[in-house]
Amino acid sequence: MRVMAQVAMVMNLDKCIGCHTCSVTCKQTWTNREGTEYVWFNNVETKPGIGYPKHYEDQERWRGGWVLDDRGRLKLRSGGKVKRLLGLFANPDLPSIDDYYEPITYDYDTLITAPAGRDTPVIRPKSALTGKDTAIKWGANWEDDLGGAAEHAAGDPNIAAMPKQAADKVRFEFERTFMFHLPRICEHCLNPACVSACPSGAMYKRAEDGIVLVDQNRCRGWRMCVSACPYKKVYVNHNTGKAEKCTFCFPRIEAGQPTVCAETCVGRLRYIGMVLYDADAVTAAASVPDPQDLLEAQRNLFLDPADPAVVSAALSAGVPRDWIDAAQRSPVYELAIRHKVALPLHPEYRTVPMVWYIPPLSPVLDAVSEMDGDNADPDQVFHGITQLRIPMEYLASLFAAGDTEVVAGVLMKLSAMRGYMRARTLDGTVAEELLAATGMSSMDMERLYRLLAVAKYDERYVIPPAHRETAAELAELGTGCSLDVPGGPGMGRVLLPLSVLPIKRNGEP
């Protein structure tokens, strides 16, 4: 057993109101620069929908993540080393700017300098890339609140994976079915495809906390990481030709502070904590043959931070004592492992993602209300959970490699917790039947309720600061990752001809 520490995140999707504050604050912090106009390290998608970039979940198209070879060993879906090297200059699995969207600005000067006249001056949208007039046809958030999504629903890869009858129902009764928001950042995977695909060794996973970064000094702009990432969370800065990605706000994490997206989240739905895992077991966990076994295999990677044997192994491996203490109070461990209500996004990509999600109960509650049921009655909600195939199959495609029982189990726990607390608070009774139905104890219910409903800042973010003794090493790593400003270390000369950058339209040479 080789114990390592990982900083990880859980998001509670029931609380996301799709306000995009997280995206905007992240952009202001990290990608408000030339070359990254189209880049959103944090984006919020409306589901069902095709997302950003378009259809990123369709790995038949983009060939991201890992698959098993004939002998059951992991290999990048994008191909082995030889194939990737042969494709260096003609990589067909790369989204174009049209798959993201053409970033726009406005000709604000016209507003300020227009001569006095009878008509109000009008400003036209201009491409932020070419400066020319442009028509706005798509955006990172085009499907917001299902706006325009009815037109594109058929293209959602999760719907394509559903049985035909259910898929047709989602397509044709789209706005009546369900919707929710899905905020996404880099998953800082334990088995990152981006790192394995990088021919320059520029992408790396920090040993001390597992944050995945790009060394700007080593990146040669081959873009293999963009193709290999199944979540499409590596981007190319078209000014520098180098890869950039979510940094998990590592300077803040080192200071014991949450990421900017978490700090500013209006719904207070993000949780950040340390988890301990067995690094020797990652490859085996990512290689289990049946995709529906991946969730349990990934859960089993996490070590119980209260187990004296784990504590001793962690100390021997150099994990600082206060990091182990933090792991023992980790809201991520609590939600993902102790209560098993958080699930990884697309575990079948086999990258072992470290941003997990509590699936939304609201589609089920809405459906129960629509049937004139009482969505506060656990019996009716339980019934709804077992009957409502469509949201269940859709959520299972996102979070459990299609296993609806896993999602139903989580939603039952969440629903039971509401019923249990309602009975306790309003009637002063203990709903024993809910404890029996979910296999949870009273203490489990109270702990889960506390975390999901009333947890304060210090309970949602349990982040031990970086250690002074590792500061020099961290500073050195930080220099390589700086994305800060034009002229900074990451903003050097373009190393590749413009023709091989992704900033071109589909079909253009």
Q: Which residues bind ligand SF4 (CB under 6 A)?
A: 16-22, 44, 181, 183, 186-189, 192-194, 212, 229, 231, 233-234, 245, 265-267, 269, 351
Distance CA 199, CA 427 (A): 63
What's the min distance (Å) between Cβ of 247 and ligand SF4? 11
What's the min distance (Å) between Cβ of 24 and ligand SF4? 9
Distance CA 244, CA 250 (A): 14
Residue 4 or residue 229: which is nearer to ligand SF4 going by CB?
229
What's the min distance (Å) between Cβ of 470 and ligand SF4? 22
Q: What is the side-by-side order of every strand in the sheet holding 270-278?
A: 343-344, 355-358, 3-12, 270-278, 461-462
Residue 267 or residue 305: which is nearer to ligand SF4 going by CB?
267
What's the min distance (Å) between Cβ of 84 and ligand SF4? 15
What's the min distance (Å) between Cβ of 303 and ligand SF4? 21
| CB-CB neighbours of 112 under 10 Å | 8
8 Å CB contact between 241 and 269: no
Q: What is the DSSP letter of 485?
A: S
Q: Output phi, psi for 182, to 5 deg.
A: -125, 100
Whether the bond between 53 and the residue before it is cis, its omega within 30 degrees of 0, is yes
3-state secondary structure 448-499: HHHHHHHCCHHHHEECCCCCHHHHHHHHHHHHHHCCCCCCCCCCCCCCCCHH
What's the min distance (Å) between Cβ of 302 and ligand SF4? 17
> Which residues have CB under 8 Å from 439's CB, separation 6+?
none
What's the min distance (Å) between Cβ of 76 and ligand SF4? 10
> Which residues have CB under 8 Å from 300's CB, separation 6+?
281, 285
| Residue whose token pair is 């049209």 | 98
Residue 227 or residue 330: which is nearer to ligand SF4 going by CB?
227
Q: 271 is written with which tokens?
A: 């949780």
Helix (H, G, I), strand (E, B) or coil at 214: strand
Residue 219 or residue 234: which is nearer to ligand SF4 going by CB?
234
Residue 177 or residue 196: which is nearer to ligand SF4 going by CB?
196
Residue 266 or residue 495: which is nearer to ligand SF4 going by CB?
266
Residue 42 or residue 240: which is nearer to ligand SF4 going by CB?
42
8 Å CB contact between 78 and 64: yes
